[in-house]
Structure 1
């Protein structure tokens, strides 16, 4: 083994640099060839504006009114220019004097009609709206009565004549023709052109000419950190090494990026290297055979066994008692096995997580196939139905494994469920295996889980639920539905959200939505501290979003418009000595639901109102006493909530929480819990009322939640507390 390692190291150091130099030279050569080929075509395209402006026939056409039916001569001229360039798909010219666009492929009306090709979902005239000149952009073209075509569009400089007329021209390039041009220019070096992309001046990827390895060029360019006009680097992307070569063109200004799988290149080892390896293996095999024969001849079983024992237990000496040495060695190995078993037990969570991800990814074709992989790790799916629930928990205060264990216990009410973590540290995935497709029963169970966790762990939970399927292979689809449902907490709030509810939003046929300005001037209302207008505008917005089932994207746009309006008002108020911090703005941007955002803005409105009408003269002590008195009078009501307290004092929920904690050092929930536990202690010691009735008398909804909270604060269960302290009393 030792000679093999030494010789292999020498061989590796010898050929490593040679192979890398050969690869880099070949990559440089083929990338330069591709750059020259494409630059030649792009350079000829850049001549189109001057050619068109010097052609009197085109000039006369652009400066006169004409009948579209008479523009065929101009169309033939444009077709000639297109034919002269192998990658050009179409050449379009447009003057604002006309209602039509003339192109090599046809005459198109500016207005959107059935005879007008589409760029994405817009009329073809939109291709002239871009402000970027001489910069390639990717589009999806939908010709009339034809299938879609992926194109690159290049808007050429606007031409102005002496009469004040201006016109624009756009060249479209067929991505497939560009791809064919690349293949023809790199036919002899296919192994070095597996992944080619073109980037613009800001290193944004314009198009990928080839992408056999399905890589993300944006991430690769970022990781390579190339700064010079020509250079290469080796990066690791998705556990695979790639050579990234970048070449900037002095003609077009674009960058040509060549990404090559290093392992793919290294497979093409020369015949001489292969011969050397085979010879090396043959020599070492011969040496090993001679060594084996020598050991076989001189073999002594007892001596060999003793030597093995001394090797296992370093420093031991069993020269005079080989049997004792064997017993001690076996005991030592058994201890090692126990340690290994403990390690395997600890790794079950990792195995379970892998299996659950494999189920979501559709790697098991049937339940029988799944059972083969899960039989050794205690995972079982005995029922016929499957669905996925995604839990979004904030803040995640304890280990995610503790959340998973708690939830798995509650899920047993409807069947079986197993959970694991996700990349998002605030989310957990659960694959549920219910006994039936009764969605109402599943939602009821998840609501109970949410309530229990809210009470015990004092956290906010949203649960997205996918459809129930009979086919194991559709678990991945249910997972995607659950993820979509969780995202709609922005509109629907922090609750259990089945995908069937979200589906009505995604299928909404509304194409035009109201904007922030349609609800009123929020900016002016904040500047004036007009709480009534602020509340009306915000409530109207929430009602509009929820009642009209608008898209999630548009709801977010409205929310960010609101934030911008509020931020603008705050900066204007700062000139009037109104104090606010960047934290106020960050709290707005960190909203999770629309209701959170509205509460935060109402809080700011209250602050502005107080600033404009009362300055800093707040009677803090009397306010705190009033809040505590309200809680003391109403805490026994099971429907009591902190939201009711906030409403009673004309404050938002977040404003009340911040105000109370800042002036008492205790949260409202903490004060309420201490009050209820104190009352429970009195009833346990002085009365014989059973624990369930005590729970109702102090305003708790769930006996189990109360017992857990009571033990957490006192160290005793209610029964233990009654026995101990009643004796002392």
Structure 2
């Protein structure tokens, strides 16, 4: 039996060895194609990395800056009405504020050399740290080297639409620089009938360095084209004077590679297209350079094949001997662990394991049923990841589609986001089970209405008060949205009337493919956030309200908003009055009553966001009603009076945060003390293990324990152990070594040392003296 199984091992290893050996020999003759595939993937990854780097750090920043400037409300200071309304000092102060904001938007980006706005009606240039004339800018700041002053003025006054101008040479700080200039006409900055332009000067040398770091070939050429196929940048290792061949770009293929002949030399050309901005990233490399590494690897593969043949033959027999030995032990363990005695003891190892596996397979159906119970959780989690955009396109395959019961990836979808605003009339407590009942009622009503109207849909649970539904669009999208509006309207009316459940619904625009569900969810989430400024609306459609989202302004400076959030979260009541004094000044400086009211609405929305995101004790009766607050803001002519009311709400919220923190601290210490009394006899208990148990840092645990209990946590544990040790010494006959282990000491010497430190005598001496007494 030994030889039979041993030679079966030898034969198995030999077959396993010969198969990859033959495959390796065959692969040698087709290694070019194999390596080409890997090389293509590498080059695609490199170009995609270059695309991400350029677009996230340059294109996105530059175009976001242009959009921000276009929407910036400071353009009003250049209007004729503002000139009459503002005196020179106020106007100068506003211009300086605009300069500071431009600086704050650009100084962190190392690629941006300068950014400025040219206002033709004023014939001035406004930059991050200056306001000057075109002539002064041309002469003293950044002088265009290949352009006369007349051409410079003509350039500043042109009309542009997200245009990138390459190889724009300037002289700045006594150095000649090669730059790329981004130019865009500001559609909102129409002053005296003339549009202002924004210009961003980008350091071309830094982009070139980035390109060479990511994609580098000794003889390669790289091009970057914008969305209109205009050349933005060209990088050539040997400065070859080769123009980009005419290519037929396809937006449906994100990576293309082909061979061509130029000037008698063969080249490999490949490119990627940005799905967001439509930019093209193209690399062209000589064939000989492209395949140089492949030739090296092919030669190395021949050496490895020969080496593998020699070493493999030696190892086959060795591993066969080594792997036989565990079989007998496995058989013995399986016999001992098997509850039934139906197996014959004389069977060899293979037959025994085979019979045991057959018995296990007979329970497969039962295991499948148990696994199916987790199917809804898996499905909800997969849909949740899709909506958040956490799943990459290449990770969505047939298995995922089958799990989601989706027939194809490229269908049209809408995402509807539902937020339960109030259900206190239906449930009395705040437990998860009660909110689960609310979710069950809402989803049952919604599913019945959607199925009755023929909508294929998928429910996704986000939280206790937030759920989403993905809807596949088969008919015309406008008709579908109209029908969904009617369905959700009936659902809201039914739930309010019969269950006292009040909710708001956001409906996204149409997207193509499940991988774009993220964008639909973001649309639904953004449009639903408008419920704070449109209190009488219950259904928010992106198709109708998208303009409200894109035209949002920063009503409060970011530093003030961050200060409010930090003050409330930290429970600093005195800070509320200080920050609201700043807000009062900000409202006073608003250029219109409408703007002042929008600041108050924004402030109230921030209050409600904090109210729902941080633990506090503000009860339902103390919460301000949205309708009353909105009516007060809209109808009250004195914004300061409304601000006083909102300030009081923030003060109450901050006070309740303090109370909640104190209660949390007391509850935490109570739970920690219970845990210590249960586990103090364990040798594993320590500051770090207790901190890990309660999901807090050791530093915070040490500080709060000393504050609440009045002593260090290690001293408290030692006190418990010493009291228990004295009790055991006086009431039992356990040895000192046994008692040490019973109270958590791994070494008796450590226990003896600690006991002497507390009592002044050894444990044995303590037992002897107290028993005599």
| Pair in the same fold by TM > 0.5 | no
Give the TM-score normalised by structure 2. 0.32
Q: Which has the higher contact order (CA 8 A, sep 6+)?
A: 2
